[in-house]
């Protein structure tokens, strides 16, 4: 073959673009010399919908963005509106929020690990991950009746009181989970092929990561110690001790290690939180009709995939004047082209997996 | 007219048995492959903490038949811009090569379709390698980028790994001096030791190369579903696709059979040399193992009968148990009869070698295929450049050095009149030396690569 360029359309129907991402790849043989992400296949106009819904009505919509980490998106939105209303959720609600959000982080990372490993060709971790994720989803189901798009929180606190055995369920899960992480690691961490496929692949330097506005594990793997849970604590994170894992080189292997360690840390946070859940009300006095004073607010939390931020402008009516969402998947995806250049086709799927995108959130 | 009929009859008289076998292979193989797939799915499920197919028949036992029916009645799609003739021909070529190479294999001393080809092993390896044409042509004819890339990867992979596999075969063939499949097994019987012990490095090389040749994980790049959708099979569907599938599993059986024949003693029982000896040797208990094994499976089925939820499933379990008992009886007869009535020993000898030979051969082939599956569920996939590096920088040097050293070891062994297990004295050092040399080469290559990378790194982002 000559040195002609080959343009391949990867997606929107492709087994490993994690939904409906379409990547236009310019190839020289098997080497990628350029790429372009074409998004929008799942665009639903979430931000526009917000302008025609009351504050409470919009809450379930944010669950449909990052549908594998709906609890985290919901927490960000509820806290943003609370900030606008200048109310605070009661301590009991905040602790339960923290527990559920950390469980959601573990669930989201598990899904990432399974699919990422599957993309690289390891079939088995996916099922091990789903086994544990199922336990978490069962806890969600017991708590609020839904497994995926939970709508677990309400503006001002929680709608549901924690069920009787919540602490016991979480404790049992956390107890089992430690050995389960070791099980995943035994399959991958020291595996020569896994290291060969991930080390040095998709390197993102700290400067590049900051310039692209990348957040979450992708940023931390590049060696930047930035986690909103520590930098601007929300919910009840200021009460708990946990470490922020950081990587050194910012390659796919580092991102893998960072996320694995994050799951361990989330487990520790859960264990600390269930030890002492304060009693008291679960919902602050917010009233039936929410009419925040005119003004604007930006509130961000550390979702499993990075910083999810809500910029809400209120004009004093029951409906927001404008809602802008800063989705971590969308912004992390911007670094994709920088990461794939010069790599092989096989690395493209590894890099899509390692950014950990959810197309519902990218396209909104 | 009459003469032609006469000639046909003459031909049939001579070749009715091979023809019948050929028809039987073509008829039964898809069924066997279907059940290999079912077993694979069950093993995969077991390793992945789930149950696998459970819906069609008890424990999904009829799943292969349902799959086959589904594939047969699916719409047959030929892409508009495809080269129709080649698109039609390619899967047939692939599966034809796979089936043809089965002809040369000997399952037991009595079962061989193409009896005593003097270039037996060469025939099998050569014909099975022809299957790659089907893959390359299929990938090219589909007129799709994914298919083309899959086909290119496949051909590059086959060329690199066929070399290593061939060299590994040569190492083993040095011990026999013949390519005839029956003679190879008989040589192992005469030496009283399988060649896997005499040429462990060659066996390892062949093991790795055969996985790559059959496009199985972790070398399944031509059909890596997460990268190339389905590689060369992307545009194929329905029955054509199932032909490719059939070819892939047939190839697995072929490489497993070649490895079994050359390295694992073919149809020989472990410690087969003890069998013919007069008197009672404790190792002869191995004669009873096959029957006991199948008996245990049957007994387990009987135990499980009351636990089946419906009457049909209970009946089915009983039928399976009955089949197991029947097979166990057939396996037990040639070994139990001589014990009861020593005068029958001569009479049952051919039955013994036929039935037990077949059992041990299939058993070893199954173990080999099980290893393939185990690998597939355990480890991730190699990248294309890594695959090539492993092939060219490690396996090919290793196999070439191994051929040389095995040759030297044989000369030394002949000088000291070493035979059987005694040969280990010279072949083990040879194997260790070959490994050391290959790792040395690999280390040198790595050093060289690192130096080159340093010079290339500066203009990496320049483009």
pLDDT digit string, tens, across residues B402-447: 888 888 888 888 888 777 777 777 778 778 888 888 888 888 877 8
| pLDDT reading at A252 higher than 80 | yes
From the candidates B139, B212, B380, B449, which should be mutated to test the interface with A, based on the most A CB atoms within 10 A? Answer: B380
CB atoms B227 and A345 under 8 Å: yes
pLDDT value of residue A109: 92
| Distance of alpha carbon B46 from the chain centroid | 22
Ordered per-residue pLDDT tens for chain B, 463 residues: 678 888 887 777 777 777 777 787 788 888 888 888 899 889 888 888 888 888 887 778 888 888 888 888 888 887 878 788 888 888 888 888 888 888 888 777 767 776 777 888 888 888 888 888 888 888 888 888 788 888 888 888 888 888 888 888 888 888 888 888 888 888 888 777 888 888 888 888 899 888 888 877 787 776 666 666 667 777 787 788 888 888 888 888 889 988 988 888 878 777 766 666 666 666 777 778 888 888 888 888 888 888 877 788 788 888 888 988 888 888 887 777 777 777 777 777 777 777 888 888 888 999 999 998 888 888 888 888 888 888 888 888 888 888 888 888 888 888 887 777 777 777 787 788 888 888 888 888 778 877 776 665 444 443 3
Nearest CA in chain A to B220: A121
Within a domain: B11 = no
User: How close, in Å, is residue A13 to chain B by CA atoms?
Assistant: 9
CB atoms A346 and B384 under 8 Å: yes
Domain count, chain B: 3
Q: Which residues contact B230 (CB under 8 A, 6 or more apart)?
A: B146, B150, B223
B175 lies in the same domain as B295: no
B242 lies in the same domain as B316: no
User: How close, in Å, is residue A7 to chain B by CA atoms?
Assistant: 9
Residue ranges in B52-144 assigned as alpha helix (H): 63-73, 84-102, 120-141
Interface size between A and B, measured as CB pairs under 8 A:
88
CB atoms A193 and B382 under 8 Å: yes
Residues from chain A that touch B385, judged by Cβ atoms under 8 A, are 344
Question: How many angstroms separate the CA atoms of A234 and A239, rounded?
Answer: 10
pLDDT value of residue B224: 65
pLDDT value of residue B461: 40
Within a domain: B462 = no
Q: How many degrees, rounded to 5, is the angle at CA A32 between CA A27 and CA A38?
A: 85
B83 lies in the same domain as B207: yes
Within a domain: B459 = no
pLDDT value of residue B459: 44
Within a domain: A26 = no
Nearest CA in chain A to B389: A196
User: Could you report the per-residue pLDDT of A53-95, keeping only the tens digit for each?
Assistant: 888 888 888 888 888 888 888 898 999 998 888 888 888 888 9
B233 touches chain A (CB under 8 A): no
What is the DSSP secondary structure assignment for residue B268, as one 8-state letter? P
Residues from chain A that touch B457, judged by Cβ atoms under 8 A, are none
| pLDDT reading at A119 higher than 50 | yes
CB atoms A119 and B146 under 8 Å: no
B107 lies in the same domain as B163: yes
Range of the domain at A315: 46-363
B185 lies in the same domain as B263: yes
B52 touches chain A (CB under 8 A): no
B364 phi and psi angles, rounded to 5 deg: -65, -40
The tokens 């490095």 sit on which residue?
B201
Within a domain: B96 = yes
Indicate the residue among B376, B406, B440 that finishes a domain: B376
Say what percent of chain B tops pLDDT 90: 1
Nearest CA in chain B to A351: B227
B255 lies in the same domain as B294: no
Indicate the residue among B376, B398, B416 that finishes a domain: B376
pLDDT value of residue B458: 46
Least confident interval from A7-11, A259-263, B112-116: B112-116
pLDDT value of residue B463: 35
B130 lies in the same domain as B158: yes
A30 touches chain B (CB under 8 A): yes
Residues from chain A that touch B384, judged by Cβ atoms under 8 A, are 30, 344, 346
Q: ipTM greater than 0.85, yes or no?
A: no
Measured CA distances, A68 to A103, A358, B73, B304 (Å): 12, 8, 37, 41
pLDDT value of residue B277: 62
Within a domain: A31 = no
User: Could you report the per-residue pLDDT of A129-171, keeping only the tens digit for each?
Assistant: 898 899 899 999 988 888 888 888 888 888 888 888 888 888 8
CB atoms A124 and B221 under 8 Å: no
pLDDT value of residue B460: 43
Instruction: Supply the angle between the helices A91-120 and A252-275 in degrees, to the nearest 10.
Output: 150
Domain count, chain A: 1
Residues from chain A that touch B139, judged by Cβ atoms under 8 A, are none
pLDDT value of residue A12: 78
Question: How many angstroms separate the CA atoms of B226 and B88, rounded?
Answer: 26
pLDDT value of residue A310: 92
Residues from chain B that touch A188, judged by Cβ atoms under 8 A, are 380
Within a domain: B195 = yes
pLDDT value of residue B153: 82
The tokens 């197991």 sit on which residue?
B324
User: Could you report the per-residue pLDDT of B80-94, keeping only the tens digit for each?
Assistant: 787 888 888 888 888
Within a domain: A27 = no
Within a domain: A227 = yes
CB atoms A197 and B380 under 8 Å: yes
Within a domain: B16 = no
Within a domain: B444 = yes
Residues from chain A that touch B217, judged by Cβ atoms under 8 A, are 121, 123
User: How close, in Å, is residue B387 to chain A by CA atoms?
Assistant: 10
CB atoms B44 and A123 under 8 Å: yes
pLDDT value of residue A106: 92
Give me the CATH number covering residue A86: 1.10.645.10
Measured CA distances, B361 to A173, A316, B265, B398 (Å): 47, 82, 8, 28
CB atoms B380 and A117 under 8 Å: yes
- The mean pLDDT of A207-214, rounded to a whole number, is 89
Question: How many angstroms separate the CA atoms of B276 and B269, rounded?
Answer: 12
Indicate the residue among B333, B352, B376 that finishes a domain: B376
Within a domain: B256 = yes
CB atoms A346 and B227 under 8 Å: yes
pLDDT value of residue B1: 60
Q: Mean pLDDT, chain A, as a whole number?
A: 86
CB atoms B226 and A120 under 8 Å: yes
pLDDT value of residue B455: 60
pLDDT value of residue B280: 65
User: Could you report the per-residue pLDDT of A225-248, keeping only the tens digit for each?
Assistant: 888 888 888 888 888 888 888 888
The tokens 């062994």 sit on which residue?
B413
Question: How many angstroms separate the CA atoms of A65 and A74, rounded?
Answer: 10
Range of the domain at B358: 274-376
B108 lies in the same domain as B257: yes
A157 phi and psi angles, rounded to 5 deg: 150, -130
């Amino acid at each position: 073959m000559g040195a002609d360029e080959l343009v391949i359309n990867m997606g929107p129907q492709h087994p490993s673009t994690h939904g409906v991402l379409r990547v236009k790849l310019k190839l020289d043989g098997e080497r990628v010399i350029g790429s372009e992400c074409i998004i929008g296949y799942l665009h639903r106009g979430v931000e526009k919908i917000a302008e025609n819904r009351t504050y409470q009505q919009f809450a379930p919509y944010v669950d449909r963005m990052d549908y594998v980490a709906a609890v985290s998106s919901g927490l960000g939105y509820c806290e943003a509106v609370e900030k606008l209303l200048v109310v605070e959720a009661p301590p009991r609600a905040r602790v339960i929020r923290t527990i559920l959000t950390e469980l959601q982080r573990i669930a989201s990372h598990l899904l990432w690990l399974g699919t990422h490993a599957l993309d690289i060709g390891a079939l088995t971790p996916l099922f091990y991950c789903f086994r544990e994720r199922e336990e978490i989803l069962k806890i969600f189901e017991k708590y609020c009746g839904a497994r995926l798009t939970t709508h677990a929180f309400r503006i001002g606190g929680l709608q549901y009181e924690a069920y009787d055995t919540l602490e016991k369920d979480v404790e049992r899960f956390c107890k089992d989970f430690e050995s389960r992480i070791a099980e995943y690691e035994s399959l991958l961490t020291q595996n020569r092929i896994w290291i060969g496929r991930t080390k040095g692949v998709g390197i993102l330097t700290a400067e590049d990561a900051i310039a692209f506005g990348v957040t979450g594990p992708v940023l931390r793997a590049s060696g930047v110690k930035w986690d909103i849970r520590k930098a601007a604590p929300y919910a009840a994170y200021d009460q708990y001790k946990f470490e922020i894992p950081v990587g050194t080189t910012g390659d796919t292997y580092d991102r893998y290690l960072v996320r694995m360690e994050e799951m361990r840390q989330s487990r520790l946070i859960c264990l600390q939180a269930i030890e002492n859940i304060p009693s008291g009300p679960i919902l602050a006095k917010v009233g039936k009709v929410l009419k925040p004073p005119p003004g604007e607010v930006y509130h961000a939390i550390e979702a499993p995939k990075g910083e999810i931020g809500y910029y809400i402008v209120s004009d004093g009516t029951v409906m927001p004047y404008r809602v802008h969402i800063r989705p971590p998947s969308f912004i992390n995806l911007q670094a994709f082209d920088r990461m794939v250049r010069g790599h092989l086709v096989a690395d493209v799927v590894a890099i899509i997996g390692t950014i950990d995108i959810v197309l519902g959130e990218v396209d909104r | 007219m009459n003469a032609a009929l006469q000639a046909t009859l003459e031909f049939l008289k001579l070749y009715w048995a091979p023809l019948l076998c050929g028809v039987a292979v073509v008829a039964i193989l898809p069924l066997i492959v279907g059940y290999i797939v079912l077993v694979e799915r069950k093993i995969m499920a077991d390793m992945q903490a789930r149950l696998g197919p459970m819906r069609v028949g008890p424990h999904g036992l009829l799943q292969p038949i349902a799959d086959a029916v589904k594939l047969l009645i699916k719409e047959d799609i030929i892409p508009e811009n495809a080269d129709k003739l080649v698109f039609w021909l390619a899967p047939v070529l692939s599966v034809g090569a796979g089936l043809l190479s089965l002809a040369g294999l000997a399952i037991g001393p009595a079962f061989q379709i193409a009896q005593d080809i003097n270039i037996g092993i060469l025939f099998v390896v050569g014909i099975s390698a022809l299957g790659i044409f089907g893959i390359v042509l299929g990938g090219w004819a589909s007129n799709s980028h994914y298919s083309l890339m899959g086909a290119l990867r496949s051909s590059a992979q086959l060329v690199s790994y066929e070399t290593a596999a061939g060299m590994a075969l040569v190492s083993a063939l040095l011990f026999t001096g013949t390519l005839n499949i029956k003679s190879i097994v008989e040589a192992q019987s005469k030496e009283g030791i399988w060649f896997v012990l005499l040429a462990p490095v060659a066996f390892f090389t062949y093991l790795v190369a055969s996985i790559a040749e059959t496009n199985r994980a972790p070398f399944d790049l031509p059909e890596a579903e997460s990268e190339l959708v389905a590689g060369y099979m992307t545009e194929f569907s329905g029955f054509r696709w199932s032909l490719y599938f059939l070819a892939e599993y047939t190839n697995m059986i072929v490489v497993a059979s070649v490895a079994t024949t050359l390295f694992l003693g073919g149809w020989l029982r472990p410690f087969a040399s003890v069998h013919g000896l007069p008197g009672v040797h404790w190792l002869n208990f191995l004669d009873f193992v096959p029957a006991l094994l199948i008996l245990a499976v049957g007994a387990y089925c009987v135990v499980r009968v009351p636990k089946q939820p419906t009457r049909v499933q209970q009946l089915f379990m009983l039928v399976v148990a009955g089949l197991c008992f029947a097979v166990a009886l057939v396996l037990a007869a040639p070994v139990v009869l001589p014990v009861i009535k020593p005068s029958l020993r001569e009479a049952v000898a051919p039955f013994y070698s036929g039935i037990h030979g077949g059992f041990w051969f299939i058993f070893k082939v199954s173990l080999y295929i099980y290893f393939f599956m185990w690998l597939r569920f355990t480890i991730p996939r190699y990248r294309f450049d890594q695959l090539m590096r492993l092939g060219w920088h490690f396996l090919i040097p290793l196999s070439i050095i191994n051929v040389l050293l095995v040759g030297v070891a044989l000369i030394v062994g002949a000088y000291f009149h070493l035979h059987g297990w005694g040969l280990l004295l010279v072949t083990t050092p040879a194997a260790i030396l070959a490994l050391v040399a290959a790792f040395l080469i690999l280390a040198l290559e790595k050093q060289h690569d690192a130096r080159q990378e340093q010079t290339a790194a500066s203009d990496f982002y320049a483009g």
